[in-house]
Amino acid sequence: MLRIGMLTSGGDCQALNAAMRGVVKGVFSERDDVEIYGFQEGYKGLIYSNFKMLTSRDFSGILTVGGTILGTSRQPFKLMRVPGEDGLDKVEAMKHTYHKLNLNCLVVLGGNGTHKTANMLREEGLNVITLPKTIDNDLWGTDMTFGFQSAVDIATDTIDRIHTTATSHSRVFIIEVMGHKVGWVTLHAGIAGGADIILLPEIPYDLDVIIKAINGRAKAGKRFTIIAVAEGAISKDDAALPKKRLKEKQAKKTYPSVAYELAEKIQNRTDQEVRITVPGHTQRGGSPCPYDRVLATRLGAAAAGLILKEDYGYMVAIKNGEIKKVPLQEVAGKLKSVDPKADIIKEAKLTGISFGDE
């Protein structure tokens, strides 16, 4: 009997179901003596032994369905060894569930935090295979995470819609895009949506440069300016602060999010009205785009291949179009951010996009 535990952890994204379907279909293609233990709401399900027995039928018809049939939750890595109100060492509790159920392996779908915990479980002797999910695309070791392209599609659609209303008014429109500490979604959606200014965490912005770009457009007869700002974008002044001072400042922040702070700064220096759009969690919602369905299916099938060979301790990844396995210890704890010197930034600048830095 092959006993597989499976869980989805961290913020959800499109194609989680497609990826799990790929794993299950792949495993059942070679074996029929398989038991699937679907842990509910991420690592929480493994900690508290909360699972559902699933059959291959449970994974039928979910290729196009958003969210995750297992539910998910955020279980911060730093709290894994800290006993909470229940007095549990969560790592020991997870090991206990794994051994109690006599699992052959654990399949974990998640982003950065999830991978740190997955690697720790590997170090603790569990057989772990992971799949890279997150709209942020910030997972080291893979060119692409599933969820990313779907989020880019949605953020681009938002910018497209703002474009048509923008042509009717002399206004500055700010669209705040998700991405946590990195700017991948903003960069791609900003270029695809024809944003005039793109602000990323990796390229701290100078307000004077932004105002110059807005005024320059007005002088050239362009009636509006569209700014795509990443939720983690930061000004040059703030980026220059010592880490501790920056943390203190951010803790005291009075704005709901970065777009509001930027809007006020710009409004104080221009005659044009400023408007804000925050698509928020719509960027993680709905059906996965075809690219993500294909990527998730390929990664799922590759994960199944590793399980069938009992080749554990890896994240399945895509590199230069090929599916590869990457050792978990190489992935855990590393962030893949946008390189400010990358060709894509230079090319975007050549088409007239300002990144607020020069």
- State yes or no: residue 134 binds ligand F6P (CB under 6 A): yes
CB neighbour list of residue 319: distance below 8 Å, 6 or more residues apart: 142, 143
Apex CA 285: angle with CA 339 and CA 290, to 5°? 70
Cα–Cα distance measured from residue 14 to residue 23, given in angstroms and rounded to the nearest whole number: 16
For residue 41 the two structure tokens come to 């709401």
By CB under 6 A, tell whether 178 contacts ligand F6P: yes
85's tokens: 């109100």
Instruction: Tell me whether residue 24 or residue 154 sits nearer to ligand F6P (CB atom).
Output: 154
Residues in contact with ligand F6P, shown as a per-residue x/- string from 241 to 260 under the rule CB under 6 A: --------------------
* Alpha-carbon 187 to chain mean position: 14
Q: How many CB atoms lie within 10 A of CB 260?
A: 16
Does 112 belong to an annotated binding site? yes
| Region of 54-62, 128-136, 252-260, 329-337 interacting with ligand F6P (CB under 6 A) | 128-136
In the set 33, 86, 89, 136, the catalytic residue is 136
> Is-contact 318 298, C-beta < 8 A?
yes
- The single residue listed with the structure tokens 């991948």 is 184
125 is in an annotated binding site: no
Mark 264-303 with x for binding to ligand F6P (rule: CB under 6 A) and - for no binding.
--------------------x-------------------
Residue 176's DSSP bridge partners are 229
By beta-carbon proximity to ligand F6P, the closer residue of 5 and 179 is 179
Figure out which of the listed residues 5, 11, 204, 288 binds ligand F6P, where binding follows CB under 6 A.
Answer: 11
Looking up tokens 């279909």 gives 25
Judged by beta carbon, residue 22 or residue 201, the one nearer ligand F6P is 201
Both structure tokens of 306: 């590793």
Q: Annotated binding residue at 35?
A: no
For residue 219, the SS3 value is helix
* Residues numbered 73-112 forming contacts with ligand F6P, rule: CB under 6 A: 111
| Order of strands, sheet of 34-39, starting from the edge strand that comes earlier in the sequence | 51-54, 34-39, 2-8, 105-110, 128-132, 314-319, 322-327
Q: What is the CA radius of gyration of the chain?
A: 22
Whose Cβ is closer to ligand F6P: residue 158's or residue 354's?
A: 158
Return the C-alpha torsion angle 56, 316, 62, 12, nearest 10. 130
The answer to whether the annotation marks 267 as part of a ligand binding site is no
CB nearer to ligand F6P: give 42 or 111.
111
Candidate list 41, 136, 153, 202; residue touching ligand F6P; CB under 6 A: 136
Query: Is 300 within any annotated ligand binding site?
Result: no
Q: How far is the CB of 182 from ligand F6P (least distance, A)?
A: 9
The residue number with the shortest CB distance to ligand F6P is 178
Task: Check whether 119 is labelled as a binding-site residue.
Answer: no
Distance CA 175, CA 224 (A): 13
Q: How far apart are CA 318 and CA 307, in angstroms?
A: 18
* Residue 284 annotated as part of some ligand binding site: yes
Residue 179 in contact with ligand F6P, rule: CB under 6 A: yes
From 131-139, 189-197, 243-251, 256-264, span contacting ligand F6P (CB under 6 A): 131-139
Annotated catalytic sites, by residue? 136
Residues that bind ligand F6P (CB under 6 A): 11, 111, 134-136, 178-180, 231, 284
- Please give the annotated binding residues for Mg(2+), written as ranges: 112
